[in-house]
Structure 1
């Protein structure tokens, strides 16, 4: 029999008092694509489609996901509150079904031109909520004027409840991840600030041994803020051998590896080995850095 009638459960108003956060809508849009496909399969209907609030809107749903459609006239359709079956469901905040869609007088036929190519006769629409606010719609449709039975109704409503639960979980995960990232960023900034203060203080320390130990702490903080706390640690005592000091003193004059090898009677590869050892002991990233750290530690004049 033609007409529109409510299907429990449901209740409450649809349009919310404030704009819904974009991350929630993005999460719902991500959930809807597979949900529309699985809903059509589980309910064995001709067509399923749905969408979420248009970004920045409080009273319009955009249909973006379809399965079983004959064309694309419904895709990207904006369904406003109070217009069409979906608009009525959006405003009322509860599921509704209509048979003999094009002849029923209980809805505003604002979207008939978009619906007509799909040859829809019976449509069931369910609101998707986030808290008390309707943030999306799911539709099931048949191309014959047949009743949508209680079993399909219950299955569709439960399917929608699962989407709502998944939506709540997904948004909470994003919120906690964002909070963690923000806290980590604050912590890294705080450590970086502390390291800068420490580096300034090191220059005021007269004791070479104390400067060396403080420099080790500074380098450790640098590795932490750079996300590389697994980098090799400088030797506990930072002591260089006499030969390593000879090599480093020549490095400090700007000598190249070949010149150092000739001056000290070493092979170039041996010079490279000494430089690697020096860098490891001092926690240096390159030869210039090694000279700077050695001078700060009192190893070089």
Structure 2
């Protein structure tokens, strides 16, 4: 696991830990990124905690509920943490003051490896049911997807910067792909921040606006123009994907980018605005 991935997960976790508690309607959520060396996770982020005993606890692989999830690379749940015989009780001194019962530990994975852990817990006698577990798993999958996209965006930005130093026209293609990838990020604040990073890269490299790539029209990239022209012709997302050799979700991402740039409310509105501005025929 790279240091960049761990640092990025650490940055994303405070908001996600807070959202996880709200979405799953539990009493306590917490988590942390993988430590250097990969043998442990340090709890850094908490929401709903009664005190600070869990903060900075270092959960070692194979030890405790989270250590078991870290070792097995899968979620692990117990109905009563302090009395369960199936885990090593190395962290009871930190857990007991929080008065939790049912606890679920979920690994956050990236490319098959564990990048960190998140937990959710209840303080009453009720178990964490299947619906809660499913919501938690979906939230972690969203986090994993956003983490992968953000790291890919950063990698492409670095590549784009190097390419732009050689040929500024190459930057247009790179940033077009990046903007489509950014639109797949679920978290709104992360999307806005990544768009700002793209604009900052443009300003740094060119000193002005986006380099005009061949086929670009106004604020739209060549690929965005192609997608919007197919929409104007009545094609579905699946038809556009097949025609242009893209995934349907990538087509959706391009359309979201187009609507953001044009200030459109929907795809029909985007076509009308583009035609009015003579961005498409």
With structure 2 as the length reference, what TM-score do the two structures score? 0.58
> Which is greater in Rg?
1
In the other structure, the counterpart of 2:23 is: 42
Offset, 1:226: 9.3
Distance 2:145 2:205 in 1: 38
The 1:229–1:86 alpha-carbon spacing in structure 2 relative to 1, beyond 3 Å, is: closer
**Aligned-pair distance for 1:29?**
1.3
Matching of residues 23-62 of structure 1 within 5 Å: 23-54=4-35, 56-62=36-42
How much is the aligned-residue C-alpha RMSD, in angstroms? 2.1
1:166, 1:177 → 2: CA distance?
A: 16
Alignment of 1:241-256 (within 5 A): none
Q: 1:25 and 1:136 mapped to 2: Cα distance?
A: 8
C-alpha spacing 1:111/1:186, structure 2 compared with 1 (3 Å): farther
Which of the residues 89, 94, 98 maps onto 1:114? Answer: 94
Q: CA deviation at 1:177?
A: 0.7
Give the Cα–Cα distance (whole angstroms) in 2 for the partners of residues 172 and 227 of structure 1. Answer: 22
Q: Which runs of 5+ in 2 are unaligned?
A: 169-203, 210-281
For 2:60, which of 80, 92, 95 is the aligned residue?
A: 80
> How many residues in Structure 1 have an aligned counterpart in Structure 2?
174
Larger relative contact order (CA 8 Å, sep ≥ 6)? 1
Give how far 1:57 is off. Answer: 2.0
Q: Distance in 2 between matches of 1:37 and 1:46?
A: 11
Which whole-Å deviations, capped at 9, do the CAs of 1:205-243 have from their partners, x for residues lacking one?
xxxxxxxxxxxxxxxxxxxx996699xxxxxxxxxxxxx
SS, match of residue 139 in structure 1: strand
Partner residue in 1 for 2:118: 138
Report the CA distance between 1:110 and its aligned residue: 0.7
- Determine the C-alpha separation between the residues in 2 that align with 1:171 and 1:51: 18
Flag structure 1 segments of 5+ consecutive residues without an equivalent.
1-19, 189-224, 231-301
Name the structure 1 match of 2:46: 66
Distance 1:227 1:159, change over 3 A: closer
Structure-2 residue corresponding to 1:271:
none
